[in-house]
Amino acid sequence: MPDPDSPTDVILVIEVKGAAQVLDLVPDAVMIFMVFPSRQAQEARLWARGDTPEQIAPRIAVAEIEEARGGELAHHVVVNDDVDRATAEVAGILASHR
């Protein structure tokens, strides 16, 4: 059984609006904002996972606004260009806050 006095990492995969709500409730939460290396890479990933043009267009349209807001909320920004590198960076960030 985990020690109730030991800190626990909770990772939430949420959008910018949800991140703002979390920070309102837990002001000392550490926010890590994951970004695409480029808008073209974002669109390519959406196509690759099978999204339709009707799903992709609105995501791309709001991407710059959400990136700007996410950058304001986040304590750290990680570029998701390589899964191993990005994972190591997130792990390092978490370790530095323990």
Domain locations in the chain? 39-98
Please check whether residue 19 is in contact with residue 73, taking contact to mean a CB–CB distance below 8 angstroms. Answer: yes
Q: Which residues pair with 78 in a beta bridge?
A: 34
Angle at 56 between CA 58 and CA 71, to 5 degrees: 65
Of all residues in the chain, what percent carry a pLDDT higher than 90? 73
Q: What was the pLDDT predicted at 38? A: 93
9 pLDDT band, cuts 50/70/90, is: confident
> Using CA atoms, how far apart are residues 9 and 36, in angstroms rounded to an integer?
24
Q: What was the pLDDT predicted at 2? A: 61
pTM (2 decimals)? Answer: 0.78
User: Reduced to 3 states, what is the DSSP secondary structure of residue 57?
Assistant: helix
